[in-house]
Each structure stands twice: as structure tokens, then as C-alpha cells.
Chains A and B, each alone.
Chain A
Amino acid sequence: MPPTQVVINGTPQTTEAEPRTPLLWVLREEFGLTAAKYGCGVAQCGACTVHLDGDAVRSCVTPLARAAGKQVTTLEGLAHGRLRQAWLDEQVPQCGYCQPGQLMSAAVLLARTPHPTDAEIDDAMAGNLCRCGTYQRIRRAIHRAAQAGSAKP
């Protein structure tokens, strides 16, 4: 079985993992990128969300084979400083377990919709569950990050 080549957070990587292995396992166990979390394991909660060629995907059900030759971005490689700052400013996390996935979805949202409405935020984030109920703070943080983005020169 040939190794799988994948670019993770900008760095070309090679893995011998079986192609059907969930991408989440490879990221966490082989490459030590533990931001993406195992939540439900069946794409129902969003805690494992990473970017695959810029799209938000649930890495717990995404086979490694799908990532072959593609760009994988995890929270560790996310460049959105304003998004992280907004999360801090709004004190978004409570337990924090879902927040890496929330941030990854929010990053795709802002990349494609720089100034989202509440409705657009709700649509975009509906696949990321938070048992602590931080949804209102998440929404505020996304608006804050959007404003910070527009304030940049």
C-alpha cells in the first residue's frame, strides 16, 4: 500500500496509515495535532472540523484517502488572528471542547462571507454543537472578527 501524501498546515507530510483511516485519527495520533476533537464520531457535532482545500469538513468521517494531495488545515495552522482575538475578547469558551471546530467553521464563514448577518452565522454554524451553550458569544465574536477585518488597512 503506497503512502499517502498530504499537506498539513502548509507542510508536505507522508503517512503510512490505511487510506480508510479517519483523517482525525491521523492528525491527532500520527502528527500530534490535537486541536481537532473527537466528539460524536459520526459527523453530528462538528468538534473535529478541519479545512480540506479550504472547505470545512468533519475529519472524524473523512477518510485519509480523500485528503490525498490536498491541503489540510487544523486550528494549529489557522491564520485568522482576528478570529482568535475576538474569541478571547468575547470570552467565548466555557469548557472549550467544541471551540476548535467552532473556530474552523467561523474561519470558512468569514473567508466567504466577510460580513455575515445573524442568519448567515446561524446557517454556517448550525453543524457545530456546544453543550455549554456559548452560541450567543460565538455569534458576537464572529461579528467582532468581521469588524476587525474591515478595520484593517
Chain B
Amino acid sequence: MTRTAWLVAAGLAAAACRTGGGTGPRTEPSREARGWQAFAAVAAVLQSPRCVSCHVAGDAPLQGDGGQAHTMNVKRGAEGRGTPVLRCTSCHQTENVETPHAPPGAPDWRLPPPAMRMAWQGLGTEALCRMLKDPAQNGGRSLAALEAHLREDALVAWGFRPGPGRRPPPVSQPELLARFVDWKDAGAPCAASDSHGH
């Protein structure tokens, strides 16, 4: 089991414990608790290198599975597409190329723009959740629009087919979408506390 997959499993187990998996009588987890449990899988994807490399806190993207600084001092730039000379598309093509060690490619390769950074690098799951569903921080997207983004955006889809030498997220894109819908349908909770407080 990979480290990330282990973390997902541990997170799910922890969520299960918090929602009634203790020594007392077994009770059905609340709707919110189930939603929060589903979000653990969503968060594990969003915090994977394929997403975090560009959803960074600073102004420089990362690369590789280890989150090392992007070579060539590449920067976000005014539109999230690099600096005027060193643009993302100076090297990244619209699809992966066959050459080993060449840069990966997908349509419209970019970072979030500086005006809407969507920088969840280093955020805890709860803070990530709150950022994700806040239109002021997520590019003005409703939950339905977020779901469509995860389903249809070519750059998101690339993350699950990143080419050789790059680890895909811990769950598949269909699994991500299923867990996202579970979370959304449960009211998009950003904590399991509702299971304790209601």
C-alpha cells in the first residue's frame, strides 16, 4: 500500500471512529458524518502532487512526486501562465509526449491566477474543505460547477493519466467524482462535528 493510500485508509478509519465506530452500540453515522467521510477521499486527491504542484501557496509551481521546486525558476505570472518569456506552454504541450523525462502535457496547462490562487498546499482537510466550497476562493463555482470541473476539465483529467514517472492520485477519477457527490449530497459538511452536536 502506498503512503498516500495508507493515509486515505487511516483517515477513513479515523472518521469512522469519530462517527460511532467505538466500543458502544453501533449506530448509523449521521448524514454529515458520512459526507465528511467521503470528503477524506476528495481531500486525498486534491492534496496529491498532481494537484498541489500548481495549487501552491507561493508563486512558484512544484514538480515531481516529491514536491520539489520547479526547475528554471518558473513562476505563476500575472495570469497563472508563467512569465512573458517563460510561459507554461513554452515547454508543456497539450498532451503528454512520448519522450522519457519530457514535461507532461495537457490542454491549457496553467496555475491558478494570482487573483484566485486556490492555494490549498499545506491546508488541513477542514480548511481545504472550506476553501473548496467558498465561491470567493474557488473561482466563483457552485458545488455543481465544482463537480463539473472535476468531471470535465482536461487538466484535472490529466492528473489521473500523468504519464510515466508521475504518481496518479490515490483514487481514480470516477471514484473521486463518486465521493465528491456523496459529500455534496450530504450537505458538503466541512467537519464531522455535526455527528456529535446534533
Q: Do A and B come from one complex?
A: yes
Residues of A within 8 A of B (CB): 20, 41-44, 49, 55-58, 61-63, 66, 105, 108-109, 112-113, 122-127
List, in ascending order, chain B residues with CB within 8 A of A105's CB: 85-86
Asked if B84 and A112 make an inter-chain contact with CB atoms under 8 angstroms apart, the answer reads yes
Decide: B91 and A58 in contact? CB cutoff 8 A. yes
Q: Is the CB of B102 within 8 A of A108?
A: no
Tell me if A57 and B89 are in contact (CB < 8 A).
Answer: yes
CB-based contact A56/B93 at 8 Å: no
Name the CB-closest residue of B to A46: B72
Q: How far is the CA of A81 from the CA of B127 in the complex (A)?
A: 54
Q: A41-B99, A61-B102 are in contact. Are A56 and B75 (CB under 8 A)?
A: no
Bound-complex Cα distance A141 to B74 (A) = 22
User: By the criterion CB–CB under 8 Å, are B103 and A123 in contact?
Assistant: no
B90 touches A55 (CB 8 A): yes
Asked whether, in the complex, the Cβ of A123 is within 8 Å of the Cβ of B91, the reply is no
Which residue on A lies nearest to B97, using beta carbons?
A61
Residues of B within 8 A of A58 (CB): 90-91
A124 and B86 contacting across the interface, CB-CB below 8 Å: yes
Name the one of A41, A63, A109 contacting B93, with C-beta atoms under 8 angstroms: A63
Residues of B within 8 A of A126 (CB): 72-74, 86
Does B193 belong to the interface (CB within 8 Å)? no
**Closest Cβ neighbor of B103 among chain A residues:** A43
Residues of B with C-beta under 8 A to A61: 91, 93, 97, 99, 102-103
Contact (Cβ within 8 A) A62 B85: no
CB-CB < 8 A to B75: which residues of A?
Answer: 123
Partner of A109, one of B84, B90, B101: B84
Contact yes or no, A62 B103, CB < 8 A:
no
Residue B71 is within 8 A (CB to CB) of chain A in the complex: yes
A131 to B103, CA, bound (A): 22
Q: Using CB atoms, name the residue of chain A closest to B83.
A: A123
Taking the complex as formed, is B142 at the interface, i.e. its CB lies under 8 A from any CB of chain A?
A: no
Residue of B nearest to A123 (CB): B83
Name the one of B71, B85, B89, B99 contacting A124, with C-beta atoms under 8 angstroms: B85
B172 within 8 A of A: no
B68 to chain A, nearest CB (A): 14
- Nearest chain A CB to B30's CB is how many angstroms away? 51
Establish whether residues A113 and B84, one from each chain, have CB atoms under 8 Å apart when the complex forms.
yes
- Please report the C-alpha to C-alpha distance between residue A105 and residue B72 in the assembled complex, in whole angstroms: 13
B18 within 8 A of A: no
The distance in angstroms between the C-alpha atoms of A55 and B86, with both chains bound, is 9
Q: List 6 A-B contacts (CB under 8 A).
A: A42-B99, A42-B101, A56-B90, A105-B86, A113-B84, A124-B85
Choose from A41, A49, A124 the contact partner of B84 (Cβ within 8 Å): A124
**In contact, A127 and B99 (Cβ under 8 angstroms):** no
